[in-house]
Amino acid sequence: MGTTSKKTLLRVARVAALVLPVLMSAGAHADDSLYRTFGEKPGLVKITDDLYANLLADPRTAPYFENAPIRRIKEKLVEQFCVLLDGPCQYTGRTMKRAHEGQNIDRAAFDALVEDLQKAMDKNGVPFHSQNKLLAKLAPMYRDIQDRE
């Protein structure tokens, strides 16, 4: 895989993490070490709060959140991250495709979201290799979030 492909995959995963819901639910998992690395639910809440502070301050992403139900979005994103990290959570939100339908999310906005998520994870001391694991789990959601170019 070339450097450009790796960078794209990393960006896709990070952004996907940021942008809402997935068709997932789960109970307690046997190996929740990644969930613990992210600080469990309190850590995920902090990361999500920092992510949205970044998104709202970022002129590349802020317009996508005008009049958005930020509190609900954050709650669902915490659930989604928790499930993806093998935590004891259940995701109750809409699919990524349905949640982002008609928002005209372009590549630049998606990449900005990934950058803002990475900043939030860095701020909260999440090791780089753990960040990449989350991003890899988010990567498959990329197509459902971004409008076709």
pLDDT in tens, 27-80: 444 467 999 999 999 999 999 999 999 999 999 999 999 889 999 999 999 999
Q: What is the pLDDT of residue 132?
A: 95
Residue 13 pLDDT exceeds 80:
no
**83: which residues sit within 8 A by CB, 6+ positions away?**
22, 24, 25, 26, 89, 90, 91
- Whole-model pTM above 0.85? no
| DSSP, res 139 | G
Q: What is the pLDDT of residue 21?
A: 39
In the chain the domains, ranked by start, together with CATH numbers, are 3-145 (1.10.490.10)
Could you read off the pLDDT of 19-31 as tens digits, one per residue? 433 333 334 444 6
CA angle 68, 106, 119 (to 5 degrees): 70
